């Protein structure tokens, strides 16, 4: 398949707003592709060359690409910058011009060139990379060049998630969404969308049904629901168990000692590979008496002098690419393992929590290093017992508790009431903060006019529609410098028009739209019905909005698709009525 066919399809997808139509068009493209091409199409559609857990890093500055474009088009860099300021999209800029391509490159040809580009390193790498990009653009037509530049800049902006690709693969195979459940189940166990497409194209749905966990490929994490009180939780679950809710970051740990060099991988909540960031945990993990292992835990920084846990704002400093060894000394970590998913060739997802817990404890019997521990848990029978345990955890400076059904299986990629979190609650406020996605910002007035930003628009994720829906316009919670920093973040991902996967009433259109990427933590007093906001809006009822919203911080450990969902927001709204 020629790359131009892919680029033309992307152009058509950009102009479509209906998810079903997007799914069908993507399905047609995948159906005509080979299995190698289908895998590449899945990755590139999400702005990657490979699965997100492996990452794609071109490390090529936009100013270098501006020079490439100016040389290619025969304009000065200043002229290109002036035009770029109007549309904020270097890909769209080059796509507006015309030239005769030297070659008619295939998808695989372009993919190999991009891999070559990514692998260039050294003192003169920027110049070498610029030369490779210039040659590649000359060989391509303007539409293809548009998407190649967007891929390099990490701004593909087609506007759908991996779940739309799952649907498209089902449409490709059956002409409807009937295979979605089976494909999603395989993807939840093995979070590599290109690999799923490859197996389906090569070996059919029977092979997909047989897929299990693979050490080294992350499992999409299960998630907890929330309820406002200890009584409500025990009423929902009956006899249950409770574990401390630590204020750190979630890690999925993969171990394979069968290789000549033992492999230890650490994946974040949003499936990013952070293995190089925690050398101090590797030796501790290797003490576990296992051959192969996949488990989940919470990593928390602690003060080596007092042994006390550090707050999340301190712990998160360990997620870095530089000065790793020094930071490991200054901010040592402990990781508390709370679940076992795979051990020595056997998958444990379908086992109950009690069964997984018993097996987990068995591998810690000979472990002496307290850097890695099985998390504590207690059995709960009454609401008062849970409340007492919750208060004791709060008294120790923790976030709260996670309560679990003893007979619950592990459900990868799903949020349900098998797990329920109970967190510290502020009087008169929602029972928890919300994870919202920044969708755009408004120019400032008064003092903030000089900042260029005075408020910003946030939304939640509707996973049924694969779209972002507005829930609040926020103008409080930030200091002067933080407003400037937010504008800088937004400007780096700004786009010229509303993304077609964002639902927003025209009265709320921001002055500057951004690609939905930045996840922030929002506190509000309550959730109300709104004639303007689109969160969970239907023909039968108005949308939902936040009353007195303010930003509490950012969630760099979450992707936009991990944000609070429309379903969660509606349930929180219903819970308010019961108070």
Distance CA 574, CA 579 (A): 10
Q: How confident is the model at residue 428 (pLDDT cuts 50, 70, 90)?
A: very low
Q: State the DSSP string of 162-229.
A: HHHHHHHHHHHHHSSSTTHHHHHHHHHHS--HHHHHHHHHHH-HHHHHT----TTSPPPPPEEEE-S-
Q: What is the pLDDT of residues 357-405, one digit of tens each?
A: 999 999 998 888 889 999 999 999 999 999 999 999 998 888 899 999 9
Phi then psi dihedrals of residue 101, to 5 deg = -65, 150
Residues 255 and 342 occupy one common structural domain? yes
On the 0-12 / 13-18 / 19+ scale of CB atoms within 10 A, 169 is buried
Q: Please tell me the predicted confidence (pLDDT) of residue 123.
A: 84
Q: Please tell me the predicted confidence (pLDDT) of residue 579.
A: 59
Q: Is the pLDDT of residue 90 over 50?
A: yes
**Does residue 241 form part of some domain?**
yes
Q: Is the pLDDT of residue 500 over 90?
A: no
Q: How many C-beta atoms lie closer than 10 Å to residue 410's C-beta?
A: 22
Total-model pTM: 0.87
How many folded domains does the chain comprise?
Answer: 3
State how beta strands 400-404 and 378-380 pair: unpaired
Q: Is the pLDDT of residue 512 over 60?
A: yes
- Domain of residue 76 covers 3-153
Q: Please tell me the predicted confidence (pLDDT) of residue 446.
A: 79
Q: Is the pLDDT of residue 240 over 60?
A: yes
Q: Write down which residue in 373, 400, 423 finishes a domain.
A: 423
| 31 to 15, 110, 205, 278, 468: CA distances (angstroms) | 21, 20, 14, 42, 28
Q: How confident is the model at residue 425 (pLDDT cuts 50, 70, 90)?
A: low
Q: Write down which residue in 115, 138, 153 finishes a domain.
A: 153
Which DSSP symbol is given to 345? T
**Does residue 501 form part of some domain?**
yes
Are residues 410 and 338 in contact, defined by beta-carbon separation less than 8 angstroms? no
Instruction: Reduce the DSSP state of residue 32 to 3 states and report it.
Output: helix
Listed in sequence order, the DSSP H helices in 15-104 are 19-32, 35-45, 62-73, 77-87, 90-95
Q: Please tell me the predicted confidence (pLDDT) of residue 400.
A: 92
Q: What is the mean pLDDT of residues 88-112?
A: 92
Q: What is the mean pLDDT of residues 28-46?
A: 97
Residues 407 and 454 occupy one common structural domain? no
Residues 331 and 441 occupy one common structural domain? no
Number of H helices, E strands in the chain: 21, 21
| Most distant pair of Cα atoms in the chain: their distance | 75
Q: What is the pLDDT of residues 285-315, one digit of tens each?
A: 999 999 999 999 999 999 888 888 998 888 8
Q: Please tell me the predicted confidence (pLDDT) of residue 102.
A: 85
Q: What is the pLDDT of residues 205-221, one digit of tens each?
A: 999 999 999 999 999 99
What CATH number is given to the structural domain containing 473?
A: 2.40.50.140
Q: How confident is the model at residue 431 (pLDDT cuts 50, 70, 90)?
A: low
Q: Bigger pLDDT: 577 or 108?
A: 108
**Does residue 565 form part of some domain?**
yes
Residues 525 and 398 occupy one common structural domain? no
Q: Which two tokens stand for residue 464?
A: 């049924």
Residues 37 and 142 occupy one common structural domain? yes
Place of tokens 């692998």: 119
Q: Is the pLDDT of residue 323 over 80?
A: yes
Q: Is the pLDDT of residue 427 over 80?
A: no
CB crowding 343-352: b at 16 or more within 10 Å, else e: beeeebbebe
Residues 303 and 354 occupy one common structural domain? yes
**Does residue 18 form part of some domain?**
yes
Residues 141 and 236 occupy one common structural domain? no
Q: Write down which residue in 394, 423, 452 finishes a domain.
A: 423
Q: Please tell me the predicted confidence (pLDDT) of residue 452.
A: 92
State how beta strands 223-226 and 415-423 pair: parallel
State how beta strands 467-474 and 263-267 pair: unpaired
Q: How confident is the model at residue 339 (pLDDT cuts 50, 70, 90)?
A: very high
Which DSSP symbol is given to 88? -
Residues 282 and 372 occupy one common structural domain? yes
Distance CA 475, CA 448 (A): 10
Secondary structure (H, E, C), 62-75? HHHHHHHHHHHHCC
Q: What percent of the chain has pLDDT over 90?
A: 74
Distance CA 232, CA 290 (A): 39
Phi then psi dihedrals of residue 159, to 5 deg = 95, 40
Q: Please tell me the predicted confidence (pLDDT) of residue 429.
A: 55
Instruction: Reduce the DSSP state of residue 565 to 3 states and report it.
Output: strand
Q: Bigger pLDDT: 251 or 449?
A: 251
For the chain, the first-to-last Cα distance in angstroms comes to 59
Phi then psi dihedrals of residue 563, to 5 deg = -65, 170
Residues 6+ apart with CB under 8 A from 50: 43, 56, 194
Residues 118 and 260 occupy one common structural domain? no
On the 0-12 / 13-18 / 19+ scale of CB atoms within 10 A, 298 is buried
Q: Is the pLDDT of residue 572 over 70?
A: yes
What is the dihedral sign for C-alpha 189, 195, 197, 199? negative
**Does residue 320 form part of some domain?**
yes
245 is an active site residue: yes
**Does residue 178 form part of some domain?**
no
Q: Please tell me the predicted confidence (pLDDT) of residue 131.
A: 94
**Does residue 173 form part of some domain?**
no
What CATH number is given to the structural domain containing 309?
A: 3.30.470.30
Distance CA 279, CA 332 (A): 10
Residues 246 and 375 occupy one common structural domain? yes
Are residues 34 and 139 in contact, defined by beta-carbon separation less than 8 angstroms? no
The per-residue pLDDT of the chain, averaged, comes to 92
Residues 567 and 463 occupy one common structural domain? yes
Catalytic residue chosen out of the listed positions 198, 245, 272, 421? 245
Which DSSP symbol is given to 460? E
Q: State the DSSP string of 241-302.
A: EEEEE-SSEEEEEEEE-SSSS-EEEEE-TT--B-GGG-HHHHHHHHTSS-SEEEEEEEEEEB
Q: State the DSSP string of 505-560.
A: -GGG--SEEE-S--EEEEE-SEEEEESS--BT--SSS-EEEEES-EEEEE-TTS-G
Q: Is the pLDDT of residue 519 over 90?
A: yes
Residues 245 and 121 occupy one common structural domain? no
Q: Is the pLDDT of residue 258 over 90?
A: yes
Residue 552 forms beta bridges with which residues? none
Q: What is the pLDDT of residues 165-193, one digit of tens each?
A: 999 999 999 999 999 999 999 999 999 99
**Does residue 556 form part of some domain?**
yes
What CATH number is given to the structural domain containing 37?
A: 1.10.3260.10
Q: What is the pLDDT of residues 268-283, one digit of tens each?
A: 998 999 999 999 999 9
Q: Which two tokens stand for residue 259?
A: 């290789």
């Amino acid at each position: 398949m020629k790359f131009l066919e892919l680029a033309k399809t992307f152009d058509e997808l950009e102009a479509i707003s209906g998810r079903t139509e997007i799914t069908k068009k993507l399905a047609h493209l995948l159906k005509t592709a080979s299995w190698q091409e289908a895998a590449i199409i899945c990755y590139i559609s999400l702005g990657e060359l490979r699965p997100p857990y492996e990452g794609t890093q071109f490390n090529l500055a936009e100013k270098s690409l501006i020079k490439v474009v100016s040389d290619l088009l025969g304009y000065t860099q200043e002229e290109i910058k002036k035009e770029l300021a109007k549309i904020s999209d270097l890909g769209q800029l080059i796509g507006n011009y015309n030239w005769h391509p030297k070659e008619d490159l295939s998808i695989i040809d372009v993919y190999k060139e991009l891999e070559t580009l990514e692998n260039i390193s050294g003192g003169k790498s920027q110049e070498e990379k610029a030369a490779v990009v210039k040659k590649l653009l000359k060989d391509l037509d303007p539409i293809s060049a548009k998407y190649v530049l967007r891929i390099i800049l990490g701004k593909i902006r087609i506007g759908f998630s991996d779940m739309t690709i799952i649907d498209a693969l089902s449409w490709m195979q059956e002409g409807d969404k009937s295979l979605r459940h089976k494909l999603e189940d395989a993807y939840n166990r093995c979070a590599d969308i290109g690999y799923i497409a490859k197996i389906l194209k090569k070996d059919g749905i029977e092979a997909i049904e047989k897929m299990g966990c693979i050490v080294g490929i992350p499992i999409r994490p299960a998630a907890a629901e929330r309820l406002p009180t200890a009584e409500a939780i025990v009423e929902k679950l009956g006899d249950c168990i409770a574990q401390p809710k630590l204020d750190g970051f979630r890690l999925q740990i993969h171990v394979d000692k069968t290789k000549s060099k033992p492999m230890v991988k650490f994946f974040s909540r949003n499936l990013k590979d952070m293995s190089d960031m925690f050398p101090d945990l590797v030796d501790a993990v290797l003490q576990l008496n296992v051959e192969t292992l996949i488990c989940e835990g919470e990593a928390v920084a602690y003060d080596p002098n007092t042994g006390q846990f550090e707050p999340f704002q301190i712990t998160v400093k360990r997620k870095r690419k530089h000065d790793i060894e020094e930071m490991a000394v200054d901010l040592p970590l402990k990781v508390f393992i709370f679940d076992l998913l795979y051990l020595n060739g056997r998958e444990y997802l379908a086992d109950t929590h009690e069964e997984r817990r018993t097996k987990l404890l068995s591998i810690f019997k000979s472990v002496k290093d307290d850097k890695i521990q099985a998390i504590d848990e207690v059995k709960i029978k009454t609401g008062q017992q849970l409340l007492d345990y919750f208060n004791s955890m709060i008294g120790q400076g923790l976030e709260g508790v996670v309560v679990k059904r003893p007979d619950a299986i592990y459900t990868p990629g799903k949020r349900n009431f098998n797990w329920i979190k109970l967190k510290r609650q502020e009087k008169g406020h929602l029972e928890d903060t919300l994870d919202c996605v920044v969708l755009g910002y408004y120019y400032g007035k008064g003092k903030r006019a000089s900042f260029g930003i005075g408020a910003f628009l946030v939304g939640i994720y509707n996973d049924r529609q694969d779209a972002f829906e507005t829930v609040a316009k926020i103008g409080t919670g930030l200091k002067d410098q933080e407003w400037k920093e937010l504008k800088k973040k937004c400007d780096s991902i700004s786009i010229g028009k509303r993304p077609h996967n964002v639902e927003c009433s025209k009265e709320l259109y921001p002055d500057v739209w951004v690609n939905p990427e930045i996840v922030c933590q929002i506190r509000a007093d309550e959730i109300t019905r709104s004639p303007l906001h689109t969160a969970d809006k239907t023909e039968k009822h108005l949308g939902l909005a936040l009353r007195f919203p303010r930003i509490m911080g950012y969630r760099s450990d979450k992707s936009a698709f991990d944000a609070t969902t429309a379903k969660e927001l509606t349930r929180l709204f219903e819970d308010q009525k019961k108070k």
